[in-house]
Structure 1
Amino acid sequence: MHIRKLTDQVSVSPQILPGEMADLEVAGFRSVINNRPDGEAEDQPASAEMAQAAAANGLAYRHIPVVPGQFGEDLIGAMAAALDELPAPVLAFCRTGTRSTTLWALQAARANEPDALVKAAGEAGYDIAALAPRLRAMRRG
């Protein structure tokens, strides 16, 4: 696992496996958000399998599938609700961690300075600088 911290409450990573849920629980995570659509890759565990593994290890679980490049208001709202409702700290994952990072930044844009979100993502190893204009527009809106 390559976990990267965005805030004290939210971290992201590339794909995790069901057998790694115990490690997440030991590391102090309390919730997992899966941002990959089922069937995106042949070797990818299904969301139902991930949910079962999370529950078996005492972790809350939410599936918010994101098709690459498609970050509509429904998904942004779902991510905001999940981060508000699930016990923290939360680990969100997708294939590389980029979609999870992007969705985190978009849901945080109204309450946070866009440059701070881009910086936090960059410090975690994710370049979301191209998202800055959208983050700024959301902040003003």
Structure 2
Amino acid sequence: MTDFRHVTDELSVAPQISAADVAEAKAQGFVAIICNRPDGEDPGQPTAAEIAAAAEAAGLTYAHIPVRGAPGPAEVEAMRQAVDAADGPVLAYCRSGTRSITTWSIGQAMSGAHERGELVALGRAAGYDLSGVLGG
């Protein structure tokens, strides 16, 4: 089931996707997929390699930036770079989408690309509460 949640024109986030969802992402105009979920969190979860293969077959760029717990500086910077490098909309996913939007939003706040209050509002509109992470 596709549950792509629009955050900005550059980024949408989603709970765990399947290989079949990659075709839908392509059809919706995404050019890149970022996986923020480590392999092996849940039995039966598609591996990063499975989604990467589907993305490659669909002509999408793919990055695996696993986040365990709170995102650290390396994950935040890798996420920022991956989104900035994309030549169009990016779909990022993890188990629920929370790690993806949190990792992205921390980078946006740190770079000054978005104000914290704006990021909290963007998160709320997409169904995520970022107030504990960003304040506001």
TM-score normalised to the size of structure 2? 0.94
Question: Gapped runs of 5+ residues in structure 1?
Answer: 137-141
Question: Which residue is equivalent to 1:20?
Answer: 21
Q: Note the 1:68-79 alignment, pairs <5 A.
A: 68=69, 70-79=70-79
**Equivalent residue of 2:88, what SS?**
coil
Structure 1 vs Structure 2: percent identity of aligned residues? 44
**Equivalent residue of 2:87, what SS?**
coil
Instruction: Give the superposition deviation at 1:87.
Output: 2.4
**2:126 maps to which of 109, 124, 127:** 124
**Per-residue CA distance 1:78-112 (angstroms, 9 max, x = gap):** 00110111222000000001110101101101212
Aligned amino acid, residue 4 of structure 2: I
**Equivalent residue of 1:37, what SS?**
coil
Question: Which residue is equivalent to 1:113?
Answer: 115
How many residues are paired up?
133
Question: Which residue is equivalent to 1:100?
Answer: 100
**Equivalent residue of 1:12, what SS?**
strand
Query: Whole-Å Cα distance in 2 between the matches of residues 8 and 85 of structure 1?
Result: 14
- Whether 2:79 is the aligned partner of 1:65: answer no
**Equivalent residue of 2:55, what SS?**
helix
Q: Is the 1:92–1:100 Cα contact (8 Å) retained in structure 2? A: yes
Question: Gapped runs of 5+ residues in structure 2?
Answer: none
Query: Whole-Å Cα distance in 1 between the matches of residues 88 and 97 of structure 2?
Result: 18
Aligned amino acid, residue 80 of structure 2: A
Structure 1 stretches of 4+ moved >3 Å: none
